[in-house]
Amino acid sequence: MEAKGKRRFNWRSFVSVLTAFSFLGLTITGIILFIVPPGRIANWSGWTIYALTKEQWIALHDWFGIIFVITVVFHLLFNIKPFISYFKSKVTKSYSLRPEWLLAMVVCIVVGVGTIVNTAPFSTLMTWNESIKNSWENTSQQAPVPHAELFTLTELAQQVTDVDLETMQANLQAQGIEVNSSDITIGELAESFSKTPSEIYQIALGQGGTERSRLGQMTLKEYCEQMNINVDEAVRKLKTSGFTVKSNMTIREIADSGGVHPSAVRTMLNQTNP
């Protein structure tokens, strides 16, 4: 005999509550995933919302979906008799074509067909969804190629015509980012140093670091003094290469005059004999 006051575990209640909770989780994660940026943007920029990445939101959504499907199956099993009654005539008690489930089927068919053929209002919702997702894109943090975070440093250097692999490695090392292998992906490198792939890319191009130490913002005179390069000789060499040059111009201004990246100017300067 059961002890007085002791209640048995109620599986029906457990399944009902778990169904409700998983549905709530599915709804919240679904709303988040409706507005998240595409992977090419989210992965490159290190996008997060409520401190969770896109991949983590997807994982949560998948697991809440699995739990919801399982609990719905058990919920139907616990309530199989009432459910079957929906398919029976209230008068004859025999199976019949009832308007309730017929209308439910029609709604699903209309939604399915409307979505597949991409007609309004279903196409309008998808267009709105794409607009929201792409609104996260920041041109200043745009990857050189889609999913560049999956590229190795060697492959990335091949996509950037004015900065070679050695220059990228030197730029990274100057900011304390050691690259033991050029075959490491940008995403892996970013994760190792708690940075986003976009930040690693900017540093590799010579645009990272503190405000003062950024290559593009240094004047030619400052850079030459720092690197022990003869300023007059540097000016002559750059002018010969078609750049507009003055010693008080910034490296970026000089680079812009020749239509190249500041790192290309630095490469030329580093080849100048002191």
Q: What is the pLDDT of residues 6-24, one digit of tens each?
A: 678 888 889 999 999 999 9
Same domain, 88 and 192: no
Is 140 within the bounds of a domain?
A: no
pLDDT confidence bin for 222, thresholds 50/70/90: confident
Same domain, 200 and 113: no
Q: Is the peptide bond preceding residue 262 cis, with omega within 30 degrees of 0?
A: no
Same domain, 32 and 124: yes
- Residue 70's alpha-carbon distances to 11, 15, 58, in angstroms, are 14, 9, 18
Is it the case that residue 5 has pLDDT exceeding 90? Answer: no
pLDDT at residue 208 in the model: 56
pLDDT confidence bin for 61, thresholds 50/70/90: very high
Which of 108, 134, 160 is where one domain is finished? 134
In 12-151, beta strands by DSSP E = 48-49, 52-53
Same domain, 219 and 156: no
Same domain, 22 and 120: yes
**Strongest mean pLDDT among 32-46, 131-145, 255-269:** 32-46
The two tokens of residue 253 are: 């201004």
pLDDT at residue 215 in the model: 62
Is 143 within the bounds of a domain?
A: no
Is 237 within the bounds of a domain?
A: yes
pLDDT confidence bin for 1, thresholds 50/70/90: very low
Q: Which domain holds residue 251?
A: 215-270
Give the DSSP letter string of 66-95.
HHHHHHHHHHHHHTHHHHHHTTB-TTT-SB
pLDDT at residue 212 in the model: 36
**Residue 169 and residue 200: Cα distance in Å, rounded?**
11
Is 142 within the bounds of a domain?
A: no
pLDDT at residue 33 in the model: 92
Is 193 within the bounds of a domain?
A: yes
Phi and psi at residue 150, to the nearest 5°: -90, -5
Is 4 within the bounds of a domain?
A: no
Is 80 within the bounds of a domain?
A: yes
Please state, rounded to an integer, the average pLDDT across all residues of the chain.
Answer: 82
Same domain, 28 and 125: yes
CB-based contact 44:149 (threshold 8 Å)? yes
Is 19 within the bounds of a domain?
A: yes
Which of 204, 227, 245 is where one domain is finished? 204
Same domain, 155 and 250: no
Same domain, 35 and 128: yes
Same domain, 82 and 165: no
Same domain, 173 and 195: yes
Same domain, 39 and 76: yes
Number of domains in the chain: 3
Same domain, 127 and 160: no
